[in-house]
Amino acid sequence: MAADLQGKRVVILAADGVERVELEQPREVLDKAGARTEVLSVDEGEIQARENDLDPVGTFAVDGLVAEASVADYDALLLPGGTVNPDKLRVDEDAVAFVRDFVESGKPVAAICHGPWTLIEAGVATGRTLTSFPSIRTDLRNAGANVVDEEVVVDKNLITSRSPEDLPAFSAAIVSHLEGTTTTDEEKS
């Protein structure tokens, strides 16, 4: 049976330097499942996408500014990676506050690759089991997270993955969580 996410709104928070495939693939899966996706950023217009962090590969239109957004308007948050993108987000007070508020709302927050950097800045990684790209795992540990090396990790409302190779499992976990069919060991207890 195909997923039915009709009526669900998913916000993708990204900035220049976003890894194209980490925004594009989950968005496509969510759109096909019936969700409505929107890209928010720290600046209006378009954001520059990258491939392998270095090569420019087009742009994505920005639907709105994170400074003007409300967590109440969305059902889930997606934080794609690339190194430049989350580095820009984690120094923007509005972006950090939005991520913190989203995590604290209990709604699903999905971060892949370097995306968890913003979770660290928002102060929401402590005590959570997360995964990420290998180069930021020390940052996660230093922020108090329990770091594991797995394709996809679901800890309550946080969904994390390591890299673009994990996109199929990552995207499926987001859809499953939005459908309400995901049950982690922590949720069972």
Active site amino acids? 113
Measured CA to CA, the distance from residue 15 to residue 73 in angstroms comes to 20
Measured CA to CA, the distance from residue 103 to residue 121 in angstroms comes to 12
Measured CA to CA, the distance from residue 137 to residue 114 in angstroms comes to 9
Measured CA to CA, the distance from residue 103 to residue 112 in angstroms comes to 15
Identify any residues that bridge with 16 across adjacent strands, giving them in sequence order.
none
Radius of gyration of the chain (CA): 15
